[in-house]
Amino acid sequence: MDTIDGMRTFVAVAKQKSFTSGAKLIGISTKLASKYIGQLEERLDAQLFHRTTRSVTLTETGQAYFLKCVPVLEQFAELEDVVQQGQSELAGVIRITAPTGFGSTKLVEALAPFQKMHPKVSIDMRLSDHIVSIVDEGIDLAIRFGKLEDSTMIARKLMDMRIVVFASPDYLAEFGRPKHPSALSTHNCLLQQFSIEPHHWQFKIAGEMKSYPVVGSYSANSPRAVAHMAAAGLGIGAAPAYVVESYIKEGSLTLLFEDNEARIIPLHAVYPSGRHLPKRIRALIEHLAMVFKASSLGPRN
């Protein structure tokens, strides 16, 4: 444990009078906060808190230590800012989590120029199709699609991603190209299980949002699996634009109803609300926002 980390944890727990609330305040897990306080007490050879099942209060020694810690941490934060502002080079590790498909393609492409510009920054990327706990896993930044549920996190929107409809030229040659979204009910549609309404696809018709039922013989929990099956000629699929971009370029998939696209899914950079963001992480967020804002994967109009 770094002494400063221990002091920050101690002050947060003391202010919140709770290990859980104090840990949330600085963006770490309750278990890690308890560990830091234990190590700090062992190093100081003093008990800093009275602990019961219902409350956490400072001991007399803890109160005296608290009064000294607060100004020290404030001075340390000021010192860090002065040093960071004076540095021309960014340095350090950034731990990122992202969805597997997006992280291994579009995110990697966006990160490459950032690392070339800042060679002293190390990226530790952990790809997963499950939501990873930022706090428990020590993650600095999460790249996530969709609505955010956790109010303890801060989110910076990077872009709105188009949800596109597509099919292979072979499928369209055999079964015909649907001229209107209502005709999708007569086609084999490839469904994504985790979408909000897998059996209803939305379109903009004459300026109004309309929903049309779809059915099919195949569903998957991965948009890339849907795109692959569509490229094989199995049916008509819908997925985020980044998933099918390479298929469209090589000609194995064709976009349908581009003028009627209505669905988007927001992409965010997410981090804990109580955590001080180092300069390197702030710079990366700005870089990603700039890259994705200019992307062709967003809404057409």
Query: Is a pLDDT exceeding 90 seen at residue 53?
Result: no
CB 226 within 8 A of CB 186: no
Q: pLDDT (tens digit, 9 = 90+) per residue, 145-162?
A: 887 776 678 889 999 999
CB 18 within 8 A of CB 56: yes
Encoded tokens for 3: 């002494």
Residues 6+ apart with CB under 8 A from 215: 185, 188, 189, 199
Q: How confident is the model at residue 86 (pLDDT cuts 50, 70, 90)?
A: low
* 109 and 71 share one domain: no
Q: How confident is the model at residue 198 (pLDDT cuts 50, 70, 90)?
A: confident
Query: How far from chain centre, in Å, is Cα 200?
Result: 26
- The owner of tokens 């101690």 is 10
Q: Which residues pair with 98 in a beta bridge?
A: 127
* Nearest-angstrom CA–CA distance, 26 and 8: 8
What pLDDT, on a 0 to 100 scale, did the predictor assign at position 3? Answer: 84
Average pLDDT, rounded, for the chain: 87
* 104 and 245 share one domain: no
* Nearest-angstrom CA–CA distance, 201 and 261: 10
* 134 and 272 share one domain: yes
* Helix or strand run (H / E) with residue 85: helix 60-86
pTM of the model as a whole: 0.67
Amino acid residing at 125: M
Encoded tokens for 95: 């731990």
* 24 and 55 share one domain: yes
Residue 299 belongs to some domain of the structure: no
Q: pLDDT (tens digit, 9 = 90+) per residue, 269-279?
A: 998 776 667 88
Helix ranges restricted to H, 87-222: 100-102, 108-117, 134-137, 169-175
Residue 207 belongs to some domain of the structure: yes
What pLDDT, on a 0 to 100 scale, did the predictor assign at position 270? Answer: 92
Last residue of one domain, picked from the residues 62, 86, 110: 86
Query: Which range has the worst mean pLDDT, 12-26, 146-160, 169-183?
Result: 146-160
- Domain of 195, CATH number, reads 3.40.190.10
| Total number of domains in the chain | 3
Amino acid residing at 78: E
Residue 301 belongs to some domain of the structure: no
- Calculate mean pLDDT across residues 125-139: 80
The alpha-carbon radius of gyration of the chain (Å, integer) is 25
* Nearest-angstrom CA–CA distance, 29 and 8: 14
DSSP string, 171-201: HHHHH---SSGGGGGGS-EEEETTSS-TTEE
- Domain of 14, CATH number, reads 1.10.10.10
What pLDDT, on a 0 to 100 scale, did the predictor assign at position 81? Answer: 59
Three-state SS sequence of 223-236: HHHHHHHHHCCCCE
- Calculate mean pLDDT across residues 236-247: 93
Residue 20 belongs to some domain of the structure: yes
Query: How far from chain centre, in Å, is Cα 115?
Result: 19
Three-state DSSP class for 260? helix
Note down the domain range covering 59: 3-86
Distances (CA, A) of 127 to 36, 38, 87, 98, 136: 28, 33, 31, 5, 16
Residue 300 belongs to some domain of the structure: no
- Residue scoring higher pLDDT (57 or 26): 57
* 187 and 238 share one domain: yes
